[in-house]
Structure 1
């Protein structure tokens, strides 16, 4: 708690000067941070893999370059940011984004640095100071980011990293009266506690809370593409909030789809995440592995059948779980309704478009959805009916920082990305000026 309070005090003290820094000056430092990330890319990739077990090749080729891009994108977006002035009965309206103040950013363990910088970059670009609390299971790259930011010339107190447990450091941060924004990515139960703490001071929140996303495969889909999309959901050992863990397949192609899927899934290389050949690495923690296996055990006991996998990968040690596909599940079952956050997918069948949409929307979540179909009109029709913040059609995980990101229902509150990030991290102001009659008094 003492460290949390010290970090907020430092952020509060540094805020006026950073908020007053011209946009070009803030953008220049964000680009310098991106330069620092690129210079230390190999180091960051190796540390992240050692810390959370995700594939080293992914960190090298995709994740860490995206970390640098996060800073560059919001630096450039800041310089482009402007509302058009508009007239009201001759009066000019001019809308601006004003920095809000110290921001608390709480990030998860599945993509630690990438998801942290997704929040840090726009918050800093907007002129705010930041207190970042990374997940206790994956703390290391957040501290390295603080070093990189300091080397890039970010003034003291503008970016503060607080390590600790949520019940201690996190609770002290989200309940602090000097915090002006809270952004959290994580579980629904934790989000409820954060929202209750923030309510005391009416601190605005942005919450991204995971999901139970569907992949709808219609009988006119390219079956090879659909299987590729489904197998891709095992990325990061299934520890991806956006993963389409519920496969909804038209009954006419379900048997062939399942056969091809099982063939592809069994060919995935499981092993050390530092090995370039590995496709599926370990889960992050023994507690997480036991949680995953608990879901599978209960599902099988309730009548589900594991047609792929179904248990820990004991040959690889205590953190690996076999890529698993369960059939024979019901819509109201725990395995269909609750987020597992591991390499476990379920398969259900449907006969009509209406049935597919009903199954897809039949959970309390609404983060994302994926649709595989060869019919453009069906794709547009189904996408319009799905409850999801993002819908991918015949593709998956295509992300553009200009687009809004967030979830519906219990997948979250608010949207970030592009201008939506600045809308959240700023106080919007409208200045209205009379058309004529400027007078000088005194």
Structure 2
């Protein structure tokens, strides 16, 4: 074991960047800490503009060859990456749990299988990508998806590998090359992905991984004139900075920026189902962009709903995410813990009441919390907490429910619980959201468009929408007898 390798959960992880098919170290490092117990996992190469620029250069050099690779061969390699993920699924799950604190059972059963599925899905979609030719006054129109060039993908810490490959897989399938910048709080599985991709036969420079702080290397990546696409998942302030950085080159952006999603519970809903859906919002310690953190409940059933909800929530077990019986793990970082507690304490000081939780626990564990008696214009209702904190408000009719649901600057998702199909149709049509679930939650298909409205994001990815973003769409128009030349 060299100083560039660390052992996490029994797995060797290289702490260096992956640029142009080889490992590259930086002079400086940053410490990666496990949220489970606060123990250091290792010293990670801290990227500088030099490494960031080198990664873009490597991606640019590899682009012509990868773009010219036949789609069937690109798809074969991506499926081989998926196979590599499957072979190392247990290792990936263990490392990611140590690194970001999410439940090990979730990583094993859902998250890492989805990582492999990301690659297989977009490999398959690449081979069926087609638009039927059409005619205009006898001329034939043919639509094609051309690779755009090097892409910079900046990914978050709450589901590091799944959300990284949600971007990496379609970008590579489209024939682009990639510079992946993982979150500094959870960088380890991105390094393992680089090894898996290389082992699957991905050519050098097609996938590059640069670690470090966005404030130090972000502008080098997002303002680089050779970058053709930028996809970012994270906060609104960071997105504004990225957009400004990319503006000089008019680099196209895809931005997924979280939200403040509502769960609307009508009196005719199955209240047991509604309570189950509400408790599900504590998944991953509430660190889920799609989480319905605002419970909006019809006043006539609010007391009964609250009783059923609190009974279920009280049964949640919080603790070590490696334990199969644990339901809620730690918060990712002590700074995030302080942020969450600050939101809650300010809300309580302003008159909110904690029906559940409301005080930080030991270490980096924040208990599931429910706050009532909150105003619609209050910070706790309007701003994303990104932790296990829900609010509950009541309404007296559809109009008020829709008004409360839409009355934020966000619009990522919404959930509706009702026993009336006609009401579901009326209400969902009026909600501002990129995804709406009716009597269910977090049912996601890669065929569906994903993204947010308002300040929850720009653009849509998923299915063919991903290829629309990661490609330059071309329409070729051919005249009748188009190959005939005039004498």
Q: Give the TM-score taking structure 1 as reference length.
A: 0.99
Q: Provide the secondary structure at the position in 2 that maps to 1:252.
A: helix
**1:373 maps to what in 2?**
418
Distance in structure 2 (CA, Å) of the matches to 1:42 and 1:283: 22
1:301 is matched with which residue: 341, 345, 349?
349
1:430 is matched with which residue: 467, 470, 475?
475
Distance in structure 2 (CA, Å) of the matches to 1:184 and 1:388: 19
Q: Does 1:25 align with 2:73?
A: yes
Distance in structure 1 (CA, Å) of the matches to 2:184 and 2:483: 58
**1:349 maps to what in 2?**
394
**2:367 maps to what in 1?**
322
1:11 is matched with which residue: 55, 59, 63?
59
Q: Provide the secondary structure at the position in 1 that maps to 2:410.
A: coil
Q: Does 1:156 align with 2:201?
A: no
Q: Provide the secondary structure at the position in 2 that maps to 1:137.
A: coil
1:38 is matched with which residue: 74, 80, 86?
86
Distance in structure 1 (CA, Å) of the matches to 2:85 and 2:147: 25
1:276 is matched with which residue: 324, 346, 352?
324
| Structural mapping, 1:151-230, within 5 Å | 151-230=199-278
Contact 1:164 1:170 in 2 (8 A): no
- CA-to-aligned-CA distance 1:298-341 (integer Å, 9 cap, x gap): 00000000000101123xxx100010000000000000000000
- CA-to-aligned-CA distance 1:242-276 (integer Å, 9 cap, x gap): 00000000000000111111111111011100000
**1:132 maps to what in 2?**
180
| Structural mapping, 1:349-428, within 5 Å | 349-428=394-473
Task: Give the 3 Å change call, closer, same or farther, for CA 114–437 of structure 1 in structure 2.
Answer: closer
Distance in structure 2 (CA, Å) of the matches to 1:163 and 1:210: 23
Aligned residues: 439
**2:127 maps to what in 1?**
79
1:262 is matched with which residue: 283, 286, 310?
310
Contact 1:367 1:389 in 2 (8 A): yes
Tell me by how many angstroms 1:441 deviates: 7.8
2:380 is matched with which residue: 329, 332, 335?
335
Tell me by how many angstroms 1:437 deviates: 5.5
2:112 is matched with which residue: 42, 64, 75?
64
RMSD over aligned Cα, in angstroms? 0.8
Distance in structure 2 (CA, Å) of the matches to 1:211 and 1:35: 34
Q: Give the TM-score taking structure 2 as reference length.
A: 0.90
- CA-to-aligned-CA distance 1:46-90 (integer Å, 9 cap, x gap): 000000000000000000000000000000000000010000000
Contact 1:218 1:250 in 2 (8 A): yes
Q: Provide the secondary structure at the position in 2 that maps to 1:423.
A: helix
Distance in structure 2 (CA, Å) of the matches to 1:364 and 1:384: 18
* Consecutive aligned runs of 4 or more in structure 1 exceeding 2 Å deviation: 437-442
Tell me by how many angstroms 1:439 deviates: 2.6
Distance in structure 1 (CA, Å) of the matches to 2:214 and 2:138: 52
The answer for unaligned runs of 5 or more in structure 2 is 1-48
Q: Provide the secondary structure at the position in 2 that maps to 1:101.
A: coil
Q: Does 1:310 align with 2:355?
A: no
Tell me by how many angstroms 1:144 deviates: 0.4
Tell me by how many angstroms 1:95 deviates: 0.5
Tell me by how many angstroms 1:382 deviates: 0.4
Contact 1:206 1:413 in 2 (8 A): yes
Tell me by how many angstroms 1:171 deviates: 1.9
Distance in structure 2 (CA, Å) of the matches to 1:280 and 1:332: 29
Distance in structure 2 (CA, Å) of the matches to 1:309 and 1:35: 43
Q: Provide the secondary structure at the position in 2 that maps to 1:253.
A: helix
Distance in structure 1 (CA, Å) of the matches to 2:231 and 2:191: 19
1:116 is matched with which residue: 160, 164, 176?
164
Q: Provide the secondary structure at the position in 2 that maps to 1:284.
A: coil
Distance in structure 1 (CA, Å) of the matches to 2:74 and 2:470: 15
